[in-house]
Structure 1
Amino acid sequence: MAKVNANQLRKGNVVEINGKLLAVIAAQNIQPGKGTPVMQLELRDLSSGLKTTERYRTTESVERVFIEDREFTYLYTEGDLITFMDVENYEQLSVPAEVVGDQAVWLQDGMKVDIALYEGKAVSVTLPQTVTLEITETEPTVKGQTASSSYKPAIVTNGQRVMVPPHVSAGVRIIINIAEGGVYLERAKD
């Protein structure tokens, strides 16, 4: 950790305030007509995900934390622990499921993820933007519904429900945007 002036903080930095790790989402330097300039920081708590806003005088010191981002490969889930392997040194790291959050349902064997580490402890896990899965069941395709704007429900191989266009049938591999909560993008080209 290092003490830095509030005006040196930028988006993506991590700070420690009252024993909590907070990521800077936005940093704005406000110069009022009278008085001292302030830095308004929009922060997100890394453990709970809650957003807060803090104001500091530009000369005030803040504890900046240095986070190490490393690439890992998903191995398996056992109970409430998810195990990943470091791609550089092949060491395994078990992460509590709440750190991964709701996106844990999209994990696939061998999937590459980015894990932010603070003092050897995982503080966040970032999955890829998209994932390719096969549709296991959906309503049958109705002839002549190829250009319709309505969508139908489908179940993919991991058991999640995704809305797909009417012309897509079971057995088709599709690309899903998991960053937006599991939205159909297109058919896979493989």
Structure 2
Amino acid sequence: MLVFEPEAHMVTASQLRAGMAIRFEGNIYKVMAADYHPGQGKMGGTTHARLKNLATGTLWEHSFRSDLKLEDLAVEKQPMDFLYSDGEACYFMNPETFEQVSIPAAVIGQQASFLQPEMRVAVEFIEGRPVSVQFPDVIEVRIAETAPPAHQQQDSTWKTAKLENGVEIMVPQFLKTGDVIRLDLETMKYMDRAKSGEKKRS
């Protein structure tokens, strides 16, 4: 009996967009960013992509010929609740089926330190395997420790602040210990002070 493999869905490098997943040279990558640069004259265009290896968590930047064909992999997202981390992996549970899955902490990256028990996130699956976590773009987090406010300092000066999960970032001088701020998780940069002043609980 002949078994036919499903035909791979191919895209050209010029079609790459953030959030897609591709197979390249035997590895599966998530596209974190992609910029297409048209060529001049007879020179073909190129696509500069920032990729994340979903087996190791390593970030990699590469320029593809715009007409290069790449295998486009379907990404399935399932809402799941974070359970715990043992340092090596983070564990999640489907709230409807109670199925549990794990993803290496190294693959999730520094954002793993912002996971809280029962926090609901979108876990991304490729070919039935959990490979990554989709976090909200912005989260609210409390400052656990920082130098006292220095209002006389210029607004352009910043200071170090340790967040409640131990991560250190740079914040403006006027902030104090206990303040709740909004943080851009992609860049790990301070955005502004949370309007409510109280951290929203999931």
Fold match by TM threshold 0.5: yes
Aligned to 1:170: 177
TM-score, normalised relative to structure 1:
0.75
Rg bigger for which structure?
1
- C-alpha distance in 2 between matches for 1:4 and 1:70: 22
AA partner of residue 129 (structure 1): D
SS in 2 for 1:104: helix
Once the 2 structures are TM-superposed, how far is the Cα of residue 66 of structure 1 from its aligned partner? 1.7
Which of 63, 67, 76 aligns to 1:68? It is 76
RMSD: 3.3
AA partner of residue 89 (structure 2): L
Q: Deviations over 1:73-120 (max 9, x none)?
A: 222111301011224433221111111012222222233322221122
The 1:40–1:146 alpha-carbon spacing in structure 2 relative to 1, beyond 3 Å, is closer
AA partner of residue 50 (structure 1): W
Aligned to 2:63: 53
- C-alpha distance in 2 between matches for 1:150 and 1:68: 43
TM-score, normalised relative to structure 2:
0.71
Once the 2 structures are TM-superposed, how far is the Cα of residue 68 of structure 1 from its aligned partner? 1.2
- C-alpha distance in 1 between matches for 2:170 and 2:35: 37
The runs of 5 or more residues in structure 1 that have no matched partner are none
SS in 1 for 2:8: strand
SS in 2 for 1:109: coil
- C-alpha distance in 1 between matches for 2:47 and 2:22: 11
- C-alpha distance in 2 between matches for 1:132 and 1:165: 16
Q: Deviations over 1:29-56 (max 9, x none)?
A: 9688669xx6744442533321222337
- C-alpha distance in 2 between matches for 1:50 and 1:57: 20
Which of 107, 120, 130 aligns to 1:122? It is 130
Aligned length: 185
- C-alpha distance in 2 between matches for 1:57 and 1:149: 45
Aligned to 1:98: 106
Once the 2 structures are TM-superposed, how far is the Cα of residue 134 of structure 1 from its aligned partner? 2.2
AA partner of residue 173 (structure 2): P
The 8 Å contact of residues 36 and 66 in structure 2, kept in 1 or not, is answered as no
Identity level (%): 26
Once the 2 structures are TM-superposed, how far is the Cα of residue 122 of structure 1 from its aligned partner? 2.4
The 1:147–1:21 alpha-carbon spacing in structure 2 relative to 1, beyond 3 Å, is same
